[in-house]
Amino acid sequence: MRWAIIGVAAVVLAGLTVAAWLLLASPGAPGAGMPATAPSSGASAGTPSDDDDAPPASDDGSSTETTPNAGPSPDSAPVDGSEVLPPADSAAPSNRLPPLPQPTPLVEAPLPENASARGKLVDGFPAVVAGPAPGDDVLESSITSDGTTMQAALTARTDDSPDAVAEHYRATWSTLGLAPTAGETVSATDPFTSVTLAITESGTGTVYTVFATLRTE
């Protein structure tokens, strides 16, 4: 009888052991096949905490954090040698040409009456710009006025060469501020005056004609 009870107890114990093993080995069992994790702490190992960024404390417990040096204040007075000197005025070049004179009319109102003459200059003729060269013979002259414009014509004769006559009038007109025009014709102009020279040679010398248009404004 005793051995029978012992046998039954052994069978029951073996069954309980097998059942417990099956429960632990099943996939749905909690904790089966998963590694155990260590309990988390307030900060993981190797991760710096907020206290690591704090500046070191001095012996009395106060912070020793330093701040970058600030630049000079805008209101501070400059020290010697720190102010910026203004650029020196550049001197005008010594080889600069003087300004050209402004053109002005060579005649003034009221203009003379229309007239013509032979062997002399008519009254009111603009001799300063269209008169003959000294010593030349006047063959004829005339002026025609219309409002603020006067036209003058001179025909004269000289023993000088055509080149000498042309050079005389070029110099005269340049002195008056008239600019020479391009082309073979000897002429000059400005906003108020225009003059032209025509030259012909004859058996009695060089004959030339000066034609001028002058304005008062």
Residue 102 domain flag: no
Residue 183 domain flag: yes
Residue 119 domain flag: yes
The residue that leads in pLDDT, 136 or 90, is 136
Residue 199 domain flag: yes
120 pLDDT above the threshold of 60: yes
Residue 183 is predicted with a pLDDT of 85
Residue 202 is predicted with a pLDDT of 85
Q: What is the mean pLDDT of residues 110-119?
A: 96
Residue 178 domain flag: yes
Residue 73 is predicted with a pLDDT of 59
**Rounded distance between C-alpha atoms, residue 132 and residue 139, angstroms:** 10
Q: What are phi and psi of 95, to 5 degrees?
A: -95, 15
Residue 80 is predicted with a pLDDT of 56
Residue 199 is predicted with a pLDDT of 96
Q: How does residue 203 score in pLDDT terms, banded at 50, 70 and 90?
A: confident
Residue 126 domain flag: yes
The mean of the pLDDT values for the chain is 77
Q: How does residue 106 score in pLDDT terms, banded at 50, 70 and 90?
A: very high
**Rounded distance between C-alpha atoms, residue 91 and residue 96, angstroms:** 11
Residue 211: strand pairing partners: 153, 196
Structure tokens of 80? Answer: 């010697």
Residue 172 domain flag: yes
Instruction: Name which of 153, 101, 104, 103 is nearest 126 in CA terms.
Output: 153
**Rounded distance between C-alpha atoms, residue 48 and residue 195, angstroms:** 101
Task: Kindly write down the DSSP assignment for every residue of 91-138, as one continuous string.
Answer: PPPTTPPPPPPPP--SS-SSPPPPEEEESSPPTT--HHHHPPPTTPEE
Residue 153 is predicted with a pLDDT of 98
Residue 92 is predicted with a pLDDT of 56
Residue 85 is predicted with a pLDDT of 63
Q: How does residue 42 score in pLDDT terms, banded at 50, 70 and 90?
A: very low
The least confident of 5-9, 75-79, 119-123, 194-198 is 75-79
The residue that leads in pLDDT, 14 or 208, is 208
**Rounded distance between C-alpha atoms, residue 61 and residue 57, angstroms:** 5
If one counts every other C-beta atom within 10 angstroms of the C-beta of residue 51, the result is 7
Residue 158: strand pairing partners: 206
Q: How many domains does the chain have?
A: 1
Segment 43-80, tens digit of pLDDT: 444 444 455 555 555 555 555 555 555 555 556 555 55
Residue 26 domain flag: no
Can you give the residue range of the structural domain that contains 209?
Answer: 115-215
